[in-house]
Structure 1
Amino acid sequence: MAFIICFLFLSASASLATAQETGSNIRLGSSLSPTSNSSSWLSPSGLYAFGFYPQGQGYAVGVFLAGIPPRTVVWTANRDDPPVSAGATLLFTNDGRLILRSSQGQENYVTAVALSAHSASMLDSGNFVLYGPKGSVLWESFDYPTDTLLPTQRLLGGQQIISSISATNHSTGLFRLKMQHDGNLVQYPVNTPDTAPYSYFTSWTDKTGDNVSLNLDVDGHLFLLNTTGYVIKNITTGGLPTKRMICIFRIGSDGLMRLYSYDLNQKGTLSVVWSSTNDECDPKGLCGLNGFCVKNDQQAACQCLPGFDFVEPGNWAAGCERNFTAETCKTGDAGASYVIQGVDNTLWEDDSYSVLSSTDKDGCKQACLEDCNCEAALYKGGNCSKQRLPLRYGRILITDATSGLIKVGIVKPVNASQNKKEITRMGILFLGLSLLAFGFVMMAISLVIICKNNVWTKDQAPRLFTYAELELVTDSFKEQIGRGAFGTVYKGVIGQKMVAVKRLHKSLAEGEREFQTEVEVIGRTHHRNVVRLLGYCMEGTNRLLVYEYMSNGSLASVLFKSPESRPFWKKRMEIARDIARGVLYLHEECETQIIHCDIKPQNILMDENRAKISDFGLAKLLNADQTGTFTGIRGTDGYVAPEWHRGQPVTVKADVYSFGIMLFEIICCWRRMEVDLLQREAILEWFSNGEIRKLTGDEKVDEDELKAAIKVALWCISDDPTLRPSMKRVLLMLEGSAEIPVPPIASSSICTV
């Protein structure tokens, strides 16, 4: 019976959509502009509009409620693209393409891919639809939701909606809601795996089978439905009046899900009729790195760890940074420069590198003080979990007995009277220029002693070593662990710490540029997926670099050494996402934008936990006002982007191309795969024939994940760099947080995928 009712409901909806289509037909050749009277196309009743709306200093394209202030946007096209100027045009071309043309003449598909539509409609359901020659639906906005669901819209298994940055900026925000294939509806922060430790809302409907969808009825009934028409779970009860009343379901910029209603008669504002929680601190990541959420009159507010201030006051998501300079740390003497300050009853992500058991809080504090690697510790029930910064997902939780113990630098007070006495005493002991000369001598000696005994911390510049020191720590360069185009890498030990020492073997004239680039570039980077430079030597003709030691060698050795030792599919995809995060950091999050120029498996190093990018000898730094640069060809054959050979300006998209080639190697475990046109056609043929498992041999791989990864790789290796996605987009696609359209290469041959 339930199935029959569902079928009748869907049939009625389809009939209604067909009727609405007739009344809001948009013909080929139609166009819109932001500042003219024709800035949007209305649905038959005038309730919804598709077209331009103001965003920031320009305009975006999307679907919104028409004539209802404040403007309520329910769908945004290409949401992460910058706003366009008033001179932009939205065109429904005579050949059926829906494109956004900037005032400079640049064109982007609103539908992400090229289509040959015959007509379009803005429906009263809020759905914008493109039709084929016989009225078949080619594309509809309901299939590509952003942060909102409207009545009759569904979120299918594997789909997700992602919050906006704010009410006025509809770019991708911090939180996502995913309808998982296991039947569970779950909320996560963006850029996290679909695993329980990262979730902060769940419907607890897992193991109910595939093809479960999230549905919203016109009366505000939000529910999970399987393909047999059976309601698995009611999220809301519904029952809202349907005459002159509309409802909207949305994941807000604060990470909470809410159901809104709007009375069209009263023309007021959206009213909240249901919220996923009353605890606004529930969403993980609301406060950014090194910040934690507290309740302030039941409203969420963010605070920084002791010794930290907000990076951008007023922008909680930007996180917090130290307000003191980290002192030189020597194991055993750390307590001389630091104190431990606590934040009680807090909950954090536990990413510990060492756990001590059967200790008290004072013992935990002391253990962290005496460990240079320890920047914070989480203490609970006799367990002391040592942490490196940053800390994530912090919040006050009264029922939790965890204490956050933060290592904070000591600010030493200046005693004016004591300084005066000391100056007087020194004046008596030393006279005139003798005092000044003695002071300079003592300063020089002190600096030498500090440099001799200095060890690194995360926030310090790389240390300068002598050649004799590095010869000693490597036992006269006894154990070779790697060799590349510019140098040989040896294993060494400094104190208790394993290091990798890279000795450049080119002549000084040839290798000097690579050496200086490496020190300059990697010395300023601090990211969990970028290898850390600990020090260097530039004594005479000797040029050496000291890195953190990566115990599992290069990605090339992991992938290609032997079929038995290569990682399984899940681990390989985790490695690909690690690399993407590292490249994204270089492109968008560094103080100076960096093009690596030599992304390949040999330059990806592995430890027990993650993959890290290394070897910055060929990297190119961009000025703040630069987007590209002209330079000679850099990189390794097979990974070099086509624009290098065409004499075109090189942008960060060159790294995206190299990443795409390497992603194919990660997918297939093929060595040095040079993806020429014939091989691309073979891959596309396998796609269209459903033979993609040829890429992974006998390995058992989730076919949807395999298809997604191949599509991402094909996008990355587009000949036209403007078609390649940004690394942020690549990461979102690999994480399943963004739609992956059909790749532009011979797209007609894979239209069935």
Structure 2
Amino acid sequence: MYNIKDYKNILIQIRMVCLSPERDTQGSESFYQPKMAFMILFLLLCLSFILNTTNAQPRNSIIRPGSSLSPNSNSHWLSESGQFAFGFYRYGNGFSVGIWFEKIQQKTVVWTANRDDPPFSSDVTLLLSTKGRLIVQPKQGQEILIASASQLASSASMLDSGNFVLFNSSSAIIWQTFDFPTDTILPGQHLLPGHSLVSNASETNHTRGKFLLVMQTDGNLVQYPVDSIELEAAYWNTKTYGAGDNVTLNLDSNGTLYLLNATALLVQNITEKASVSGKPIYRATIDADGIFRLYSRSFNQFDNWSIQWSSSENKCDPKGFCGVNSYCTLMDRDPVCQCPPGFDFIDQGQKDLGCHKNYNVDACTGKSEQMFDFDELISVSWEVDAYSSLSSIPKDACREECFRDCNCEAALYQIESQLCKKLKLPLRFGKRELSGQVITLLKIGAALDRGGERKQKELRVDVLIIIISCLTLAFLVVVCCSVLVYRHRNVRKKGISNLDSNGLVEDVTLRSFTYEELKHATNNFTDNIGKGAFGTVFRGVISNGSRIVAIKRLDKVVAEGEREFNNEMKTIGNTHHKNLVQLLGYCHEGSNMLLVYEYMRNGSLADFLFGSRLKTDWEGRIAITLNIARGILYLHEECETQIIHCDIKPENILMDEKGCAKIADFGLAKLLMPNQTKTYTGIRGTRGHVAPEWWHQNSPITVKADVYSFGIMLLEIICCRRSLDMMFQTMKQYL
């Protein structure tokens, strides 16, 4: 391929040939014949067009000053192919400004503006001002700057490369998101010397997290914990230090990560060309767990991102994954933070924050031997920040040396070299090793229990007293067990299915929320995502913003609302299947009755069949059909209490992020108990999906009602149209 400079040289040479005379065999000067001159002129015009096209920016959908976006209507600007979008995306209880892949169902954000700022409310406006600045304007308060260049911006554009740019009046780029990456780089993007990628705090929290990928000015690409950018804290690097001060990290369209110096010479291929069929898309991201990964994905809406390469296979490698005084260990290949003996988690809800001592004995004031114990952690290493080292001594001698030194709170003993290193708290970068050659000796308080009272290290008791105590205890256990068995039998006779004063069963193991908790989680019930026969569904965030849920508020005007709520508790509390939407909790405070479900990111099956621009292929539709059938089979034959849904339709089939179909609203149907097979019900389903004998007649409901509805829905899945569509002519309204 020629570059711009090559094309210019070719044009210059052609011009020289065209403008210079040619001597004939007689020595006289003559010009090219008209036909040859025309061919050369045509070639000149073609090359000029190529040169102009190469110099021109791929500007599509040019955004002029005065153009604006709002979260609730025109919320984004698309690139030319529609691959990328720039604008507002939903985040937490509000919105953020960023760039994401638009053509895939799974929302994958690759750039975020002002990522540490709180979410915007729904009444703000994103504006390319007439002064050439990109700003967010709230209804009240000060405007927030998104992008500003040293020159006035005459226009902007979302490019197909995933780069959002500002142009000056000469169509030159004066600002671009590629120069200010967050946690991701895209094909064609360069991570410049002195620049870095910073991980997100979590998968759902895009504020700056714990880990950093730095393109250093010495040519080395290095990963650090954010709060410890020092050589000892690095946990991965390309070992290319000394390669120069202008080395950049690059990702090409073939999925190759590589380092390039200022003279365009290859320094190192970090990955080889990815062997992925078709035309996949790529991104390289430092994830919230601290590992730098290269991802690929096809354009199939049900595909997930596939990992092509990662900087580490051990998820405990990133230093600082666990906080101070805690160490990382793998359980089923997933990292888990644990506290050593004598320590408790600072926050049980966020175990990665670290641990603190659960005793309050000071090592330099309590010098009595009875004040301390030593506990050993096998194969757990820490950051080697020793204030003193002793070589060629046995482990017991290391323990003794640490005990005598009031400054020593732990010792790291290396078995093979017999090296003893004395450490002070806090301990950092703890990690379980596989070598088994490291022992951590922890000096923990033995004198105080959690209440602060003295423990006796040795307790001598007369043998007779011990025997009597044991017999007494055994007698009490027998009495207690007898009482419990007696009470249990009485409860069984009375019927364990009786409701309490609020109409709720006692054995439900779901989480109970307060109304205020759910009101706060849904931002005062402002994010309405749907409405069904029994109530309205809102989007909410629980667990300190780490989990998105769907919260259904049952309508107070429903005459049997409380009874249906109790049915939901009794049934779904003991109903679990991968093709049923999972109920996580509930709220029942007076007239406020709410249910908390897992959040299904991809909407309903109706969205896929009737509303999506990307139609599902045959394999996808077959998989969806089998998922629904398995869920119905479980409701009818496999769960403890038979359940008839009575309203099987695409709107009640929800899709998770993997494209798996799950049945929703089954807990609101009339339950069929084993001795009530002829029960009549007032739930009549949706016209077009329910069998005529149950729609027009007062016939008893059986499982056949769901089978009929499933058959109608199967036709809709095959034909990708509704069974009853009033948009068609009269004869074609019914499928």
The equivalent of 1:261 in structure 2 is 296
- Equivalent residue of 1:167, what SS? coil
The equivalent of 2:239 in structure 1 is 204
Is residue 367 of structure 2 the alignment partner of residue 333 of structure 1?
yes
Map Cα deviations across residues 217-272 of structure 1 (whole Å, 9 max, x no partner).
11101111112222121111124458542111111000111111111145422111
Is residue 62 of structure 2 the alignment partner of residue 28 of structure 1?
no
Is residue 129 of structure 2 the alignment partner of residue 93 of structure 1?
yes
Is residue 69 of structure 2 the alignment partner of residue 38 of structure 1?
no
Question: What aligned pairs does 1:261-660 form with structure 2 within 5 A after superposition?
Answer: 261-322=296-357, 324-330=358-364, 333-380=367-414, 381-399=417-435, 401-410=437-446, 411=449
Is residue 143 of structure 2 the alignment partner of residue 107 of structure 1?
yes
In 1, Cα distance between the equivalents of 2:52 and 2:245? 24
Q: Is the 8 A contact 1:339 1:369 kept in 2?
A: no
After superposition, the Cα gap between the structure-2 partners of 1:217 and 1:365, relative to the gap in structure 1 and judged at 3 Å, is: same
Residue 202 of structure 1 deviates from its aligned partner by 1.1
The equivalent of 2:192 in structure 1 is 156
In 2, Cα distance between the equivalents of 1:75 and 1:302? 29
Q: Is the 8 A contact 1:357 1:382 kept in 2?
A: yes
Greater mean deviation of Cα atoms: 157-166 or 98-107: 98-107
Q: Is the 8 A contact 2:364 2:407 kept in 1?
A: no
In 1, Cα distance between the equivalents of 2:290 and 2:6? 34
After superposition, the Cα gap between the structure-2 partners of 1:112 and 1:314, relative to the gap in structure 1 and judged at 3 Å, is: farther
Question: What aligned pairs does 1:731-750 form with structure 2 within 5 A after superposition?
Answer: none
In 2, Cα distance between the equivalents of 1:74 and 1:365? 51
In 2, Cα distance between the equivalents of 1:105 and 1:115? 26
**Equivalent AA in structure 1 for residue 396 of structure 2:** D
In 1, Cα distance between the equivalents of 2:330 and 2:5? 43
**Equivalent AA in structure 2 for residue 342 of structure 1:** E
In 1, Cα distance between the equivalents of 2:424 and 2:57? 60
Is residue 217 of structure 2 the alignment partner of residue 217 of structure 1?
no
- Equivalent residue of 1:27, what SS? coil
The equivalent of 2:25 in structure 1 is none
The equivalent of 1:55 in structure 2 is 91
In 1, Cα distance between the equivalents of 2:270 and 2:442? 40
In 1, Cα distance between the equivalents of 2:311 and 2:322? 19
The equivalent of 1:169 in structure 2 is 205
- Equivalent residue of 1:20, what SS? coil
Which of 105, 116, 141 is equivalent to 1:80? 116
Q: Is the 8 A contact 1:368 1:374 kept in 2?
A: yes
Map Cα deviations across residues 556-578 of structure 1 (whole Å, 9 max, x no partner).
xxxxxxxxxxxxxxxxxxxxxxx
TM-score of the pair, normalised by structure 1: 0.51
The equivalent of 1:65 in structure 2 is 101
Residue 178 of structure 1 deviates from its aligned partner by 1.1
Which of 175, 178, 181 is equivalent to 1:142? 178
The equivalent of 1:594 in structure 2 is none
- Equivalent residue of 1:96, what SS? coil
Residue 188 of structure 1 deviates from its aligned partner by 1.0
**Equivalent AA in structure 2 for residue 118 of structure 1:** S
In 2, Cα distance between the equivalents of 1:16 and 1:335? 80
Q: Is the 8 A contact 1:78 1:112 kept in 2?
A: no
In 2, Cα distance between the equivalents of 1:142 and 1:70? 22
After superposition, the Cα gap between the structure-2 partners of 1:376 and 1:112, relative to the gap in structure 1 and judged at 3 Å, is: farther
In 1, Cα distance between the equivalents of 2:422 and 2:66? 63
Map Cα deviations across residues 61-100 of structure 1 (whole Å, 9 max, x no partner).
1111115232101011111112122222211111111112
In the alignment, structure 1 segments of 5+ residues that lack a partner are 422-753
Residue 17 of structure 1 deviates from its aligned partner by 9.0
Cα RMSD for the two superposed structures = 3.0
After superposition, the Cα gap between the structure-2 partners of 1:112 and 1:171, relative to the gap in structure 1 and judged at 3 Å, is: farther
After superposition, the Cα gap between the structure-2 partners of 1:114 and 1:208, relative to the gap in structure 1 and judged at 3 Å, is: closer
Residue 134 of structure 1 deviates from its aligned partner by 0.8
Residue 212 of structure 1 deviates from its aligned partner by 1.1
After superposition, the Cα gap between the structure-2 partners of 1:330 and 1:124, relative to the gap in structure 1 and judged at 3 Å, is: closer
Map Cα deviations across residues 354-402 of structure 1 (whole Å, 9 max, x no partner).
2233432222222323333222221223332222211111101122622
Residue 191 of structure 1 deviates from its aligned partner by 2.2
Q: Is the 8 A contact 1:33 1:86 kept in 2?
A: yes
Is residue 216 of structure 2 the alignment partner of residue 189 of structure 1?
no
After superposition, the Cα gap between the structure-2 partners of 1:68 and 1:42, relative to the gap in structure 1 and judged at 3 Å, is: same
In 2, Cα distance between the equivalents of 1:318 and 1:48? 36
The equivalent of 2:269 in structure 1 is 234
Q: Is the 8 A contact 1:224 1:232 kept in 2?
A: yes
Q: Is the 8 A contact 1:219 1:242 kept in 2?
A: no
Greater mean deviation of Cα atoms: 305-314 or 154-163: 305-314
Residue 118 of structure 1 deviates from its aligned partner by 0.8
In the alignment, structure 2 segments of 5+ residues that lack a partner are 8-48, 466-735
Residue 38 of structure 1 deviates from its aligned partner by 0.9
TM-score of the pair, normalised by structure 2: 0.53
Q: Is the 8 A contact 2:363 2:409 kept in 1?
A: no
Q: Is the 8 A contact 1:160 1:176 kept in 2?
A: yes
Residue 294 of structure 1 deviates from its aligned partner by 1.0
After superposition, the Cα gap between the structure-2 partners of 1:97 and 1:112, relative to the gap in structure 1 and judged at 3 Å, is: closer
Residue 113 of structure 1 deviates from its aligned partner by 6.5
Residue 285 of structure 1 deviates from its aligned partner by 0.5
Residue 27 of structure 1 deviates from its aligned partner by 1.1
In 1, Cα distance between the equivalents of 2:323 and 2:90? 28
After superposition, the Cα gap between the structure-2 partners of 1:333 and 1:52, relative to the gap in structure 1 and judged at 3 Å, is: same
**Equivalent AA in structure 1 for residue 387 of structure 2:** Y
Map Cα deviations across residues 2-60 of structure 1 (whole Å, 9 max, x no partner).
x979999xx99995794531x221111111122x2211111111111111112222211
- Equivalent residue of 1:249, what SS? strand
The equivalent of 1:179 in structure 2 is 215
- Equivalent residue of 1:110, what SS? strand
Map Cα deviations across residues 565-620 of structure 1 (whole Å, 9 max, x no partner).
xxxxxxxxxxxxxxxxxxxxxxxxxxxxxxxxxxxxxxxxxxxxxxxxxxxxxxxx
- Equivalent residue of 1:25, what SS? coil
After superposition, the Cα gap between the structure-2 partners of 1:13 and 1:144, relative to the gap in structure 1 and judged at 3 Å, is: farther
**Equivalent AA in structure 2 for residue 348 of structure 1:** W
Q: Is the 8 A contact 2:133 2:148 kept in 1?
A: no
Percent identity reads 44
In 2, Cα distance between the equivalents of 1:6 and 1:364? 69
Q: Is the 8 A contact 2:343 2:355 kept in 1?
A: yes
In 1, Cα distance between the equivalents of 2:208 and 2:148? 16
**Equivalent AA in structure 2 for residue 120 of structure 1:** A
In 1, Cα distance between the equivalents of 2:139 and 2:202? 26
- Equivalent residue of 1:366, what SS? helix
Map Cα deviations across residues 313-368 of structure 1 (whole Å, 9 max, x no partner).
2434311122x231254457253222111112222112222223343222222232
Number of residue pairs aligned between Structure 1 and Structure 2:
412
Q: Is the 8 A contact 1:80 1:172 kept in 2?
A: yes
